[in-house]
Structure 1
């Protein structure tokens, strides 16, 4: 048998050649038991190393992996802990009340849509102009104060906080303009000119420069740091200018609306004529409304977007591009649009209306779908003012009430320092307010400041 194996011919191809095959050896190889070599005598070093690594890592030096017996239960402390599946949180539904959160009953508020008698400063103090006094309400500590400057100057026509809230600009029916210090109630500066028309609107360009719009259509810039306070004159309106506001995003651009149904866009950086170095012309004139235009406001997130609403014969809210003067959209609000206010954080717009519903309407921009309606006034809502903290809007109406409406959750009010707390205690001692069963806060001033 061994001699036959030694005479076997090797070929480079697997072609069966029966005459050269050793059939006895083939049968033995096929039917014989197959036993692995465990002693490593005929295995290569790499195979031995692989087998050792397999035993250490996979088999754990065990003779077998599977066993026909039941393993003991593991204790509960050693069981693997799996986190519960993350469930999507339910989106909190926005709650917009249909009624105001607080109602201030203020006697002496004039029913005139061209006046500007409501302003909420960055110091979180709401100022309301009455016939011959200014009512101040500190929203942070809910204290009250009444400023009554000088008598026999006519009713108050406009009030406006300075950007730093150091002074409150107050305009009177006899054409006088006073800058009043809130803490002391004293007049720190102002103008007295009987030859001028009464002031209807005010807008601060900075802490020292004030833009004044008068009943005869004149618009003038004044700098109270100079002896000659007159800076420049804006020529465009033919009747009373009842709305002024500088753009926060574009420092040199501002707008004006008037009783002549016109809206003007001005650029303070435009060059002026040599013949009239202090007279400026409008950049764009918008004459699409058919009634008085007082409800005008800049979009807080888009520097070139302006929204304004028409009066009792118009009922429209229009949106304009202030760069090219193009009308972007126009909707019918259904009633007189007395005031208009953009939300500072969302793409929403709040409008106040007159008859028949005298309501506030919250719009979603740019779809202009109605988000909510808020009632609570029995007469047309003349003015709107937003809280500097956001979320709360104050509205003043001809029914001699001022409502506070929570449109969204306001930010937490900043804590007052000790000096402000002591000043607040003094202010609260000078005025009082009572809450009756109807939920209205009645202002009962017990003093007046000179």
Structure 2
């Protein structure tokens, strides 16, 4: 190949320079090929005004042949030079580039993993693995769930009660403030002392009486001093615990007294089979204050609220009345009635006011109803109703925890604990073989007492409060029958 001399082309313009490429040789000399760039001697051609000395001219890039680097480009760059390893430069255009392999371990990383991060070499640990591990947000305001309390499924004490009547219209069991349990058995009233585990029988008011009296309702007043005793013949008697004697007698009806409720230590109400409710006060002559009329059949349940201003009554006519005891005595029918509830389909014997919520009343229906209903006497509205699939015999709200206790008859004969206000069943106790008609609680409200037609009394520890010293000694000395 003949190269043209630069002297002969001195008059050629810079833009008309030519490239000469050597002819192809044999394949074995391919590695010795080179490309020579012929450029004019005009130094202005590579001046900064025309071409950047550190960039390859665009005209060079149009050619597919390999180009040799100009000699002036070998000058030292003011920006320094780039080092590209040979093994990388050979594979720049190879799609299957393999990653670098580190042959030697980094001593610093090894010490860091062992002494700071505590990473085991035998385990594959991914630091900052955000995809697999989610960091839980802190919730400082969220309260931890309190563990469920343990409730004994077996009674802590069982007592025989021979002659305990299986009668839906009697209420002959009550645990008083004085720690005495009053119970009616076979036409007699017995008192069981929890303090010393002794039982004694109340003497009859008249020694010359041939036929003993059948008591159908019993209840202590709020301080545990006076016991109200209603009988089958409609006579109500008062027995004084401190004086150990009868202090009064009332003949206000001729039919059985099914229920008694004390508002305080002096005022009480009782309902009878003659459809009336009598309000009485032990401080007035003859004890009678006034009567309430509204039920069309026997009154089988009465109870005062905690404020002593409202009285709830349930009857065999399937109705519940809320009475406002204000304004004094009156002979006008229904003047005291503030609300009449007609939602039950059977006799209503079970009534309970919530001591933790004002105006909340729970009512339970008989065998044809089998429901517990929660009412508000402040708004005169039904709040909720639940089907128990069993006759509701008694209801009682706890003073310790906002819970409701219910006892049942046909057909399950069980005791249930309900959470308020959700009315969610917490637990159920099974142990009686007949209807659980009677329910009362200890003075400290930690233990409930149930009585059944199976002629047994059973003590259940259901609430978390601590038992008093008297109750503790009683439970330690007692044995399961």
- TM-score (norm: length of structure 2): 0.64
* Matches for 1:281-360 after TM superposition, within 5 Å: 281-360=336-415
Write the distance in 1 (CA, Å) between the matches of 2:462 and 2:228: 28
Give 2:214's match in structure 1, choosing from 152, 155, 175. Answer: 155
SS of 1:283's partner is strand
SS of 1:296's partner is strand
2:180 matches 1:122: no
Which ranges of structure 1 fall in alignment gaps of 5 or more residues?
1-87, 425-432, 441-450
Give 1:170's match in structure 2, choosing from 214, 218, 229. Answer: 229
Q: Do the aligned partners of 2:395 and 2:405 also contact (CA within 8 Å) in 1?
A: yes
Shift of 1:408: 2.2
Judged with a 3 Å threshold, the aligned counterparts in structure 2 of structure 1 residues 277 and 312 are, in CA distance, closer, same or farther, namely: closer
2:454 matches 1:399: yes
- Give the CA RMSD over aligned residues: 2.7
2:262 matches 1:204: yes
SS of 1:381's partner is coil
Write the distance in 1 (CA, Å) between the matches of 2:421 and 2:413: 24
Q: Do the aligned partners of 2:259 and 2:271 also contact (CA within 8 Å) in 1?
A: yes
SS of 1:294's partner is strand
Instruction: Look up the match of 1:190.
Output: 249
Judged with a 3 Å threshold, the aligned counterparts in structure 2 of structure 1 residues 323 and 353 are, in CA distance, closer, same or farther, namely: same
Write the distance in 1 (CA, Å) between the matches of 2:324 and 2:189: 33
Write the distance in 2 (CA, Å) between the matches of 1:327 and 1:237: 20
Structure whose CA Rg is larger: 2
- Per chain length, whose mean CA-contact separation is higher, i.e. which structure has more relative contact order (CA < 8 Å, sep 6+)? 1
2:323 matches 1:266: yes
Write the distance in 1 (CA, Å) between the matches of 2:179 and 2:283: 26
Judged with a 3 Å threshold, the aligned counterparts in structure 2 of structure 1 residues 382 and 148 are, in CA distance, closer, same or farther, namely: farther
Shift of 1:133: 1.6
Write the distance in 2 (CA, Å) between the matches of 1:315 and 1:349: 16
2:289 matches 1:231: yes
Q: Do the aligned partners of 1:335 and 1:354 also contact (CA within 8 Å) in 2?
A: yes
Q: How many residues align?
A: 332
Q: Do the aligned partners of 1:149 and 1:186 also contact (CA within 8 Å) in 2?
A: no
Instruction: Look up the match of 1:131.
Output: 186
Q: Do the aligned partners of 2:446 and 2:467 also contact (CA within 8 Å) in 1?
A: no
Judged with a 3 Å threshold, the aligned counterparts in structure 2 of structure 1 residues 263 and 91 are, in CA distance, closer, same or farther, namely: closer
Instruction: Look up the match of 2:165.
Output: 110
SS of 1:122's partner is coil
Judged with a 3 Å threshold, the aligned counterparts in structure 2 of structure 1 residues 92 and 365 are, in CA distance, closer, same or farther, namely: closer
* Matches for 1:34-73 after TM superposition, within 5 Å: none
SS of 1:377's partner is coil
- TM-score (norm: length of structure 1): 0.68
Residue range with higher mean Cα deviation, 363-372 or 394-403: 363-372
Give 2:198's match in structure 1, choosing from 127, 138, 143. Answer: 143
Deviations 1:9-49 (A, max 9, x none): xxxxxxxxxxxxxxxxxxxxxxxxxxxxxxxxxxxxxxxxx
Shift of 1:200: 1.0
Judged with a 3 Å threshold, the aligned counterparts in structure 2 of structure 1 residues 226 and 272 are, in CA distance, closer, same or farther, namely: closer
